[in-house]
Amino acid sequence: MKYVKQGMKNIKGFTLMGKTGMAVVCVVLFLGIFSDRLSVHPYNLPSGSAFEAPGPVHWLGTDDLGIDLWAQICFGARVSMIIGFGTALLAGIGGSLIGICSGYFGGLIDKIVMRVTDIIIVLPDLPTMIVLGAFFGPGIRNIIIVLALFSWTVPARIVRSKILSVKEEKYVVAAKNYGAKFWHLTIRHFLPNILPVVMVSVIRLFSKAIVAEAGLAFLGLGDPTSKSWGLILNHAVNFRGIYFTDYWKWWIVGPSAAIMLLVTAIAFICRDVEKIVNSKI
């Protein structure tokens, strides 16, 4: 509860850009949660003829199969949000825990963890993700796992270095001398210290995951019948001669705008959070 209050106070400290970003993310979240009710038409069944231009019936037009694009974008928001949150939480929590252990215990654990992060950081993530995506097969769950596998290293490293310095703080040493154990120290002293820095990297991961999913789907590695934004784009640009027709005006512009809007909004939030965190340190 204390953290939530703190968070609300922080949001008040956001710039106008940050607040706008927050609003956009909330809207997308809203779209994702209530996607079935926000659109008159189904997202997975044809509801008109192919390539209807945007109009009163189909707000953003229809695609080649005659499926309403607004409905697909609403549903795509859900996919993007699930993947964004899923990856960010999985990688954020997992990475932080690994970082805390590595920083606190040091020694062999630290060495192993740091070498593993080195290896993963060196691996170019997009090509490896393409290979893993092709190997494990499409599906939202697999994409989250693959993305998380490649993103936990950033929070892990940041947290480890933070823990290394916090560990030496006098109050932590004192608590330890009074017999405080690892879990007590983590919850009582480490978490409040690392939370702000983890926040920043988690928000970054969030947008990275959304873009990566869109990228994988765009390359045709996503689930071929899911309706993520990347996949709508994939179908659109692979339609023969789309740029010589009028269809791109709604079929490509809609989902691209959605991705850009969301990612830019997250970037603004990230910038503000970083500012607030930095001023505290």
Partner 1 sequence: MVKRIAKRTVAILLSAIILAGSTGCGHSTLSENKNGNQDRPVVVNLEGGDWGYPTPFSHYARGPGLYKMTLIFDSLLERGEEGYIPWLAEDWDISEDGLTYTFTLRENVKWQDGQPMTAEDVKFSFEYFAEYPPVFSDLTVDGKHFIQSVETVDEKTVKLKVEKPLAILLGKIGSTRIIPKHIWEKVEDPQKFNTPEAVIGTGPYVLKDYIKEQGAYQFEAFKDFWGPKQRVEILQFVPVSDSILAFDNGEIDLTRITTDILSKYQSNEEYKVLRNPAFWGYRLLFNMERRTEFKDKKIRQAFAHAIDKDELVEKIAREAAIPANAGYLPVGHIWHNAHAKNYGFDIERAKQLLDGEEFSFKLLTGNSNNEVRIAELLKISLAKAGITLSITSTDFKTRDAAVKRGDYEIVLNGHGGWGRDADILRTMYLTEKTSNRSPAVGGIPGYDNDRINVLCRQQLFEIDAAKRKEIIFELQELIAEEIPQIPLYNTTGYIVFRPAAFDGWKYMFDHHGVTHNKLSYLDVRQ
Which one, 169 or 246, has the nearer CB to partner 1? Answer: 246
Part in contact with partner 1 (CB under 8 A); list of ranges 30-38, 103-111, 238-246, 258-266? 238-246
Task: Determine which residue in the list 6, 44, 161, 165 makes contact with partner 1, applying CB under 8 A.
Answer: 44
Which neighbouring-strand residues pair with 68? 62
Part in contact with partner 1 (CB under 8 A); list of ranges 38-46, 116-124, 143-151, 254-262? 38-46
Of 126, 96, 97, which Cα lies nearest the Cα of 200?
Answer: 96
Could you say which residues in the range 53-72 bind partner 1, by CB under 8 A? Answer: 64-66
**CA-based torsion, 53, 34, 81, 198: positive or negative:** positive
Q: What is the smallest separation between the CB atom of 244 and partner 1, expressed in angstroms? A: 4
Residues that contact partner 1, how many (by CB under 8 A): 21
Part in contact with partner 1 (CB under 8 A); list of ranges 53-61, 92-100, 180-188, 242-250? 242-250
7 binds partner 1 (CB under 8 A): no
- Is there a contact between 78 and 32 (Cβ–Cβ < 8 Å)? yes
Q: Which residues, 6+ apart, have CB-to-CB distance to 222 below 8 Å?
A: 133, 138, 143, 213, 216, 228, 230, 231, 234
Q: Which residues, 6+ apart, have CB-to-CB distance to 137 below 8 Å?
A: none
Q: Which residues, 6+ apart, have CB-to-CB distance to 245 below 8 Å?
A: none
Q: What token pair was written down for 191?
A: 């978490």
Q: What is the smallest separation between the CB atom of 218 and partner 1, expressed in angstroms? A: 12
Q: What is the smallest separation between the CB atom of 213 and partner 1, expressed in angstroms? A: 17
Q: Which residues of 43-70 are buried (b: 16+ CB within 10 A; e: fewer)?
A: beeebbeebbebeeebbbbbbeebbbbb
46 binds partner 1 (CB under 8 A): yes
The binding track of 121-140 with respect to partner 1, each residue x by CB under 8 A or -, is: ----------------x---
Q: What is the smallest separation between the CB atom of 47 and partner 1, expressed in angstroms? A: 11
Q: What is the smallest separation between the CB atom of 223 and partner 1, expressed in angstroms? A: 9
